[in-house]
């Protein structure tokens, strides 16, 4: 299969420009980036379709190798419809943002900055599991900086555990 080099260069430029525009803060540029990505994807599907051939209409005296594959054309048509729907949705969002705020640029809010500043380590999710989960449990397990029997360590996470202080959190009575 021979691939047209010009088609590949245009497709690569469309992908590069589309990704660059999607990373911008302006909704109009994000829309243009999505449109460029959709067109680059259409070119990619077209390039994978192979040689141009006859229309896929059956005739007894035409060999099967001469026909064109209709699947890439159907995929491109589907991609065009989906990209049109996404474009219409984004235009609605852009119009609504312009009517409400008279600006096209998305601003950072305090929650975005708080989430960006949080460390990736979560003490509850990333801590080592104190319970032994193998078929051959150990006699003692170190959990929370102290040694305890394995059955107590396994019960530590359960409601009504004897290893947890029954006083309410926060030190109230």
CA 33-38-43 angle, to 5 degrees, is: 125
Asked if the structure places residue 60 within a domain, the reply is no
If asked whether residues 149 and 74 sit together in one domain, one would say: no
Q: What is the DSSP string of 83-141?
A: HHHHHHHHHHHHHHHHHHHS--BPPP-HHHHHHHHS-S--HHHHSPP-S--SSS--SEE
If asked whether residues 23 and 90 sit together in one domain, one would say: yes
Find, among 28, 33, 72, 37, the residue nearest to 52 by Cα.
72
Structure confidence at residue 64 (pLDDT): 74
Domain range holding 44? 5-55+67-106
If asked whether residues 138 and 74 sit together in one domain, one would say: no
If asked whether residues 45 and 83 sit together in one domain, one would say: yes
**CB-CB contact of 31 with 87 (8 Å):** yes
- What global pTM score does this model have? 0.59
If asked whether residues 86 and 146 sit together in one domain, one would say: no
Structure confidence at residue 63 (pLDDT): 80
Dihedrals phi, psi of 141, to nearest 5 degrees: -130, 140
CA 136-141-142 angle, to 5 degrees, is: 150
Give the CATH number of the domain where residue 9 resides: 1.10.287.3510
Torsion of CA 42, 48, 53, 58, to 10 degrees: -90
Digits of tens for pLDDT over the chain (173 positions)?
A: 567 888 889 999 999 999 999 998 899 999 999 999 999 999 999 888 877 776 767 778 878 777 777 888 899 999 999 999 999 999 999 999 889 888 888 887 888 888 778 777 666 666 666 555 666 655 676 766 677 776 666 665 555 555 555 565 555 55
Structure confidence at residue 21 (pLDDT): 95
If asked whether residues 49 and 97 sit together in one domain, one would say: yes
- What is the distance between the alpha carbons of residues 38 and 35, in angstroms, rounded to a whole number? 5
Asked if the structure places residue 168 within a domain, the reply is no
CA 105-108-113 angle, to 5 degrees, is: 165
If asked whether residues 101 and 135 sit together in one domain, one would say: no
If asked whether residues 19 and 90 sit together in one domain, one would say: yes
Q: How far apart are the first and last CA of the chain?
A: 79
């Amino acid at each position: 299969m021979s691939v047209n080099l010009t088609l590949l260069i245009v497709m690569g430029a469309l992908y590069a420009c589309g990704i660059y525009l999607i990373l911008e803060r302006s909704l109009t540029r994000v829309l243009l980036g999505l449109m460029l990505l959709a067109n680059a994807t259409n070119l990619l599907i077209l390039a994978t379709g192979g040689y141009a051939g006859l229309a896929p209409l059956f005739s007894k005296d035409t060999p099967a190798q001469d026909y064109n594959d209709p699947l890439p054309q159907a995929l491109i048509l589907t991609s065009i419809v989906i990209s049109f729907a996404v474009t219409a949705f984004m235009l609605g969002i852009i119009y609504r943002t312009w009517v409400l705020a008279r600006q096209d640029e998305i601003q950072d809010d305090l929650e975005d900055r708080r989430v960006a500043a949080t460390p990736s380590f979560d003490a509850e999710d990333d801590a080592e599991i104190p319970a032994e989960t193998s078929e051959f449990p150990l006699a003692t397990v170190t959990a929370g900086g102290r040694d305890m029997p394995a059955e107590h360590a396994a019960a530590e996470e359960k409601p009504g555990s004897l290893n947890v202080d029954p006083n309410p959190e926060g030190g109230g009575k």
